[in-house]
Amino acid sequence: MKNRTIDEYELIEIPKIVADDGRGNLSVVEKDLIPYDIKRVYYLYDVPSDSIRGGHAHKELKQFLIALSGSFDVVLDDGKDRIVITLNRPYKGLYIPNGLWRELENFSAGAVCLSLVSETYDEADYIRTYDDYLAFKGT
């Protein structure tokens, strides 16, 4: 969708079950938590702190990111405005609709980023350069 704006992202609280006996916590992502069916799951890890991941937009794919361990920043851009969202809790996820540019940066040591996406891999769905993204948006 070409006319997406950065205010369409959503931070979603993932249900957290706390063990009464101190054995730790459990969080569950079930069907109704995110607004699409999950077709692919992948995760990023061992990312150097000075690396940037992402650096693209999707025409159709929707994405839900969770910092399972550590922290990282997600930069969202709609061609006019940018926002930085820090993910650092395994019970909060970031829903990114299609049509937004995204970059992941500032990975802490040991950070693990889980990505739950709405589509299987399709190179034709990617917008790989920011200039192409701006052209796609018509800005």
Catalytically annotated residues: 56
| DSSP result, 30-64 | -TTTSSS---EEEEEES--TT--EEEEEESS--EE
Beta-bridge partner residues of 10: 95
